[in-house]
Amino acid sequence: MTTVRRTRRWRGVVAVALFAAAVGLLAKDPVVLLLGAVGAGYAAYPWLTSPPTVDLDLTRTVDPHDAEAGTDVDVTVRVRNTGSSTLTDLRVVDGVPPMLTVSGGTPRHAAFLRPGATTEFSYAVRAEHGRHQFDPATAIARDAAGAHEVETTVQTDTAIECAATVPEVPLRQQTMRAGGSVVTDEGGAGTEFHQTREYRSGDPLSRIDWRRRAKTGELTTIEFREERLASVVLCLDARPSAYRATDEDEPHAVACGREGMAQVLTALADTRNPVGVAAVGRQPCWLPPRTGSDHLAEARRRMGSHPAFSTVPPAPDADWGADGQLEQLRRRLDPGTQVVLFSPLADEAVTAFALELERGGTAVTVVSPDPTTTATRGGRLATVERDDRIRRLRSAEVRVVDWDPAEPLGPELVRAREGFA
């Protein structure tokens, strides 16, 4: 996205020039009048310039790529001017993952770039558990007069992988007919014992209970719990109400949810389950469930660059909302597809959406990063309201993982799975 705007750099010069010209005319002083004319010339100069054309190519390298939690990761950014205009005043702010902190250097850089020239800067971030996707870098360029400013984003897919990712995702038993990794309550071929039943003609000999046959003479067949594929959609709640945090210096719930979603996506990529991604927020995002490395790469690309996954909170006067997006998402879900919803449960709209899906036969699991605090009266009220929403969801058999973002998500999911069993 590119934005062009005028600066107010020369506004004071215009006022001074007009004042000097008026004084020169009234006083009939040619020197003062000449100064006013010179000032008017300077004031007219910015109107003769045009906004710069900004075409940039950005590459980003991280070292090491797989880091341990608490260690520093060196980030090197190279920016190349691929356009035909000289950028006399270029400023770049790299898109540091919101869950990571800068531990050395700065992700901000200023440069003068001729066409084809390259500039480079480096900084370090402190690694945390999980997979952390970099946001697009923001570039701001001004013309030589400083009268016009062009702001754009430059995207390149970069991520930092840190140990202790999600070991297992507690999927629901809403599955497809194809064999997979989700254990069901239906008997058939599988690995986990389900029951024994009377032998039927055509049952495989390998599933006959020969020990019982030897002891009692009865002919019975062993059934195991069937394992099937689960079609899953990972959905991020990035509506304005979800950009909440326990403190100004802490990551907000959208940033935490996006990072948790990336970890779950990586865990599910190791299975044969079809996975899709969706988001509601600045714009709706929808990628239907599929499998394969190309689909995984596309899902990660959208999570890193689509406006719906932006971790930048909306401005106070922003006029965008997500009215109708939840209903649009509901209509896109195929029968048999389950939803893993990443939301802080900050309002009633998303709670009603989860309840509606569950009542309509779509299995829902909510992973809810907790953005509430008990330090203020308003925070305590928000905590009570969120606890009530979690209680109502669980009463309707919606699985809710109440996640403290200060803790790794993997162990939280394991504990939740044990509680759901």
Same domain? For 262 and 369 the reply is yes
pLDDT band at 168 (very low <50, low <70, confident <90, very high): low
Q: Are 140 and 94 in contact (CB under 8 A)?
A: no
Render 190-240 in DSSP notation, one character per residue.
EEEEEEEEE--TT--GGGB-HHHHHHH---EEEEEEEEE--EEEEEEE-SG
Is residue 286, in this structure, part of any structural domain at all? yes
Average pLDDT, integer, range 116-130: 91
**Is 413 a residue whose pLDDT tops 60?**
yes
Q: Are 208 and 220 in contact (CB under 8 A)?
A: yes
Sheet holding 101-105, edge to edge: 56-63, 72-81, 118-126, 101-105
CATH number for position 72 = 2.60.40.10
Q: What is the pLDDT of residue 269?
A: 82
pLDDT band at 215 (very low <50, low <70, confident <90, very high): confident
Same domain? For 14 and 84 the reply is no
Give, in order, the Cα–Cα distances in Å from 225 to each of 180, 187, 192: 12, 5, 5
* Partners of residue 78 on adjacent β-strands: 59, 120
Residues 229-243: tens digit of each pLDDT = 789 999 999 999 999
pTM: predicted TM-score of the whole model, two decimal places = 0.67
Same domain? For 219 and 358 the reply is no
Same domain? For 93 and 126 the reply is yes
Q: What is the pLDDT of residue 227?
A: 54
Q: What is the pLDDT of residue 204?
A: 74
**Which conformational region is residue 292 in: left (phi greater than 0), alpha (psi within -120 to 50 degrees), or beta?**
left
Average pLDDT, integer, range 10-31: 60
Q: What is the pLDDT of residue 178?
A: 42
Looking at every residue in the chain, the average pLDDT score rounds to: 81
CA distance 201 to 366: 45
Is residue 276, in this structure, part of any structural domain at all? yes
CA distance 166 to 183: 19
Q: Classify 317 as helix, strand or coil.
A: coil
Average pLDDT, integer, range 25-35: 61
Nearest in space to 236 (alpha carbons), one of 367, 416, 362? 367
Is residue 174, in this structure, part of any structural domain at all? no
Average pLDDT, integer, range 406-412: 83
Q: What is the pLDDT of residue 21?
A: 58
Number of domains making up the chain: 4
Is residue 171, in this structure, part of any structural domain at all? no
Q: How many CA atoms lie within 13 A of 161 on its CB side?
A: 6
Nearest in space to 364 (alpha carbons), one of 325, 383, 390, 388? 390
- 194 versus 256: which is more confidently predicted? 256
CA distance 386 to 369: 11
